[in-house]
Each structure stands twice: as C-alpha cells, then as structure tokens.
Structure 1
C-alpha cells in the first residue's frame, strides 16, 4: 500500500526541519568566517555581514610560515592532519579487514574474548592512556613526530575497524567463499577475490569513520606535539585563542576548512554509507 499524501508531506517537512537543524551551525560558522571583527563583536547580530571579507582565508593560505603567525601555521597543520589521518586509516583498515575476517570466520580459543578486549580498549577514556602512551613515545623518541601520532591513533582506530569489519563479514554468506575454496582458492585467495569486493561498502564506511576519528582527535595531539611540524588541525584551531584576545573569525575560518575533507568524503561515499552501516549492524 502506498503511503498517503499527508504522510509524505509530513516526512518531507520533517526532513527539511532536520536539515535546517543540522546545517544551521555550519552556516553560522561560514558567516562568522567572512564577517569583520567589529560585526562579530557587535551586540546586535548580523545574519549576513554588511562588508564580507576573505582576509582570514588569505592569511591562512598566503602568509609566510612563522612561529608567531598562527594563520600560516594552520596551513601546515592541515597537511599534518591529512598525512596522519590517511596513514592511520590505511594501517587500521588493513588490520581491520584481515583481523575482522579472522574473528568472523575462524574458530579459535578466546575468539570472542579477544574481540571484546579490543572493543574495551577502544572504549577506554583517552585521558586514562595519556601517561603510558607518553612514556612509550618518549622512550622510542617519537614525541612531537607524525609517526608517533600515527601509532597512537592506530590504538584508537584499529579496534573500531576490527569490530566493524568483523560484524560486516558476518552479514555476508559463508557459502560464497566455500564455493571459491572448492574451485581451488586458498582462504586468503577467497578473501581477496570474493569477500573483499563484496565488502567494499563496509570497507569504505569503516575507512571513512576511521579517518574522521583520526582527523578530529585533539587530546593526544595537544600533549604529544609541540612544534608546527607535527601539530594537527584541532590543536592549530585552539591556538587561535590567545592569552588576552581571541580572533573568533579566524577560529570560524579554521573550522570551515577543517570540515572540508570530511564533507568531501561524505559526498563521495554517501551511497555506500547507509548500506555499510546497516549491513554491519545486523549481526554481532
């Protein structure tokens, strides 16, 4: 039975309202980034600036790097965040794709216990791991390095990838890989030739969320980095707040730029996201 007209109108109205609620903060962020400082600090808010300016974006992309120039250093932080998040995602996704398959298909002792242990590590509050991780990186001479951040972020993203991919593999029929093995494939060959192509929505969805976890992480980056060569975007945005003054427009511009990579990922892989999330959530 087709839904009635009132039902469809209600659904569309609810979708529009939800879209406005979700997009309103981002719209205000964008407006603030192009508003002059005087209008931002005015007691009477302007829904659109009378004299919009792109000076903050020009400062970020055109200023010469320097210790005192937080706008120019933000550009380096964007590069650092992209490198760290990409490497973390690649490493965690490879481990999650292979390890998740093992947890989903292989039978061995303490299989569920091991998987729940990884999940428990993922659920630990980051502040509880700061001291041991700091000591470990200090002993390995990896403090204030992108390599140290990648290793640290993998401790967060890898358990997430393992859990998500193991659940996704459970949603795929085991008969497919069994048929491939009957035809002469090894278990690894069946995984590479049959299962991974079918698991593409889950891989893309897991990789996207893993990238976002690494991209948005703040605490570890704040504590484990101290120079421009390794600081990431969240720390760079925090540095826009000075001791005696804050450039709220510059903070807004940094926030807008920080949302661009996640937005691009969501637009590119949106058709895989729903399928990847729903298929990986039906079993566990």
Structure 2
C-alpha cells in the first residue's frame, strides 16, 4: 500500500539542487577575485602563510603605493614592473578606447549594409569576415611585425590599435548586424518623411535606438584590446606603449617573486573593465540579449 505524502511536506529536491549549484558557481567566480583583492592588502608573510589568511590581519597600502613611488618601495618585483604599471594602465586605456571607437565607426556602416541592403553575395561576404577571425594570431604575428616595422610603427599606439581592430571587427559587425535587424524600418521611413537625410536619420533616429547593441559591441572590442597579450608583447618594448598584460607578465620572475604586489597589479588591471561593465550594465544586457535572439 502506497502512502501519498501531501505536497506541503515533500522535499523540493530540484530547487535544493539548483540553489546548491548556483551557490557553488557563485563561489567559483567570486572567491578567486576576493582572494586577489584580500592578498593585495596583505604583507608578504601573511600571503604565503599556511593555512592562508582569508582576511588581512594588518591591512596595508604598501603594495599599491609601490606603483606610485617605486624608488621608495621595498616591493620591487620584475625589474621595472612597478614603475611601468601606471604607464601600462594608461596605455591599455588609450589603446582599448581607441580600438572600441574605431571598431564601432567601421562596424556600424558594415552592419547597417548587411542588415538593411540586399545585394548578391552578402552572406558569403559576412562568412568570409568571420573566417578571418578564425586565423590564429600566431600565424600572422611575424608578417604583422615586419609590416609595422617597415612603416616605423613599432612601440606605438597605432600598431596595437590596428592589430586589435582586425581581431574585433568581424565579431563587432556580427553583433551589430543582428541588433540592427531588430530596429523597425518604420523609424527610418518616418524620418525620411520629415525630410531627414541619411546621415541625420542615422545620427538622430537609428543610432539612439540601437544604443544597447552599440554598447555591447563597444564593450566587446574594449575587452578584446584590454586583454590581448601576444601582439602587445611583440609590438611594444618600452613603457611608451606597453600594455598592462605585458607588464603584469614581468611580475612572474625567477627571483624575488612577491605575490602581494602581483595581486595589487591584478586588481588595478581589473578595475577599468569592471567599472565599464557596471556603468553600461543595463544596455550591455539588452544589446547581447537582442543580438542573440534576433536573426
């Protein structure tokens, strides 16, 4: 004889499992970043202690102050890494911002053409754009280096901006193309009825409506340039153009490696893109969601 348990007494195993998985995934994402932040305020003795200290026993700003006054800091790691960190953050910010702006300027016209104009071979051309993105960077780094050297662009912002644009532009076009298709044509037709030219229609009507897609594509291009390492390593050699990934790699040395200073550099490298994501969070989610469901 089977006894039925009332619904209010049944254990919601599915919800429990989902909650446990969600909490575990959240800890998997948050704990590493928390550990880096906490370590950046620790003394080296606390950072390498066993068992580890999850909370700094005596918080200090020495690891961050070493980037401001490296000559007075006792935490010199990787040669000139401390001194170059502020410059590398500036360089990364300039290069990533210019890459995002250039990508949006070029991709807007291309994506609008793919989404609004019907011409023979448009799909083939779009696929060719994506295929160029599939070529590994290591396959073109030497020809690109020689090309930049022949134009005298080594160790300059322009060399990095041009290289990063080639990486991000195909995906940026793809993101904007899908989002532009979701913008009603009636808006453009109404603007033309009001005697607006094409550029005015784009600037005053179309682009404001497509702002979430533009933000999503811009953030993607920004993050692509911010995180890239290999081309920055080959194309830069001084603090005039070195980016934060290259300088951060200099902290991992065979001698006198100090984890607290490395953690502080990691926190400084994460702050700009994190602030960017928080500022444009709503438009970023709208743009990525619209681009994923509109075909």
* TM superposition score normalised by structure 2: 0.87
Q: Pick the aligned partner of 1:210 from 221, 239, 242.
A: 221
- Partner in structure 1 of residue 3 of structure 2: none
Q: Pick the aligned partner of 1:228 from 239, 252, 258.
A: 239
> How many Å separate the matches in 1 of 2:191 and 2:244?
45
Q: Is residue 281 from structure 1 mapped to residue 292 from structure 2 by the alignment?
A: yes
* Aligned CA distance change for structure 1 residues 43 and 12 (closer, same or farther; 3 Å): closer
Structure 1 unpaired stretches of 5+: 1-5
> How many Å separate the matches in 2 of 1:260 and 1:179?
43
- Residues 101 and 169 of structure 1 are in contact (CA less than 8 Å); yes or no, is this contact kept in structure 2? yes
- Partner in structure 1 of residue 265 of structure 2: 254
RMSD of aligned Cα (Å)? 2.4
- Partner in structure 2 of residue 3 of structure 1: none
> How many Å separate the matches in 2 of 1:114 and 1:188?
25
Q: Pick the aligned partner of 1:103 from 110, 114, 120.
A: 114
SS at 1:58's partner residue? Answer: helix
> How many Å separate the matches in 1 of 2:87 and 2:99?
18
- Residues 171 and 282 of structure 1 are in contact (CA less than 8 Å); yes or no, is this contact kept in structure 2? no
- Partner in structure 1 of residue 197 of structure 2: 186
> How many Å separate the matches in 1 of 2:245 and 2:103?
21
- Partner in structure 2 of residue 158 of structure 1: 169
| Pairwise CA distance, 1:113 | 1.6
* Aligned CA distance change for structure 1 residues 24 and 173 (closer, same or farther; 3 Å): same
Q: Pick the aligned partner of 1:51 from 52, 58, 79.
A: 58
SS at 1:230's partner residue? Answer: coil
> How many Å separate the matches in 2 of 1:16 and 1:203?
32
> How many Å separate the matches in 2 of 1:121 and 1:169?
22
Structure 2 unpaired stretches of 5+: 1-11
Deviation digits for residues 133-170 of structure 1, max 9, x if unmatched? 11111111111111111111111122221111111101
**Residue-pair matches, total:** 280
Q: Is residue 245 from structure 1 mapped to residue 256 from structure 2 by the alignment?
A: yes
After superposition, where does 1:113-152 map in structure 2 within 5 Å? 113-152=124-163
- Partner in structure 2 of residue 40 of structure 1: 47
> How many Å separate the matches in 2 of 1:189 and 1:72?
47
Deviation digits for residues 255-281 of structure 1, max 9, x if unmatched? 101110111111111111221111111
| Pairwise CA distance, 1:59 | 0.3
| Pairwise CA distance, 1:8 | 8.2
- Residues 171 and 283 of structure 1 are in contact (CA less than 8 Å); yes or no, is this contact kept in structure 2? yes
* Aligned CA distance change for structure 1 residues 29 and 126 (closer, same or farther; 3 Å): same
> How many Å separate the matches in 1 of 2:183 and 2:105?
19
> How many Å separate the matches in 2 of 1:73 and 1:96?
33
SS at 1:281's partner residue? Answer: helix
- Residues 76 and 229 of structure 1 are in contact (CA less than 8 Å); yes or no, is this contact kept in structure 2? yes
Larger Rg: 2
- Residues 32 and 252 of structure 1 are in contact (CA less than 8 Å); yes or no, is this contact kept in structure 2? yes
> How many Å separate the matches in 1 of 2:199 and 2:116?
12
| Pairwise CA distance, 1:42 | 2.6
| Pairwise CA distance, 1:12 | 6.6
| Pairwise CA distance, 1:13 | 6.5
- Partner in structure 1 of residue 82 of structure 2: 71
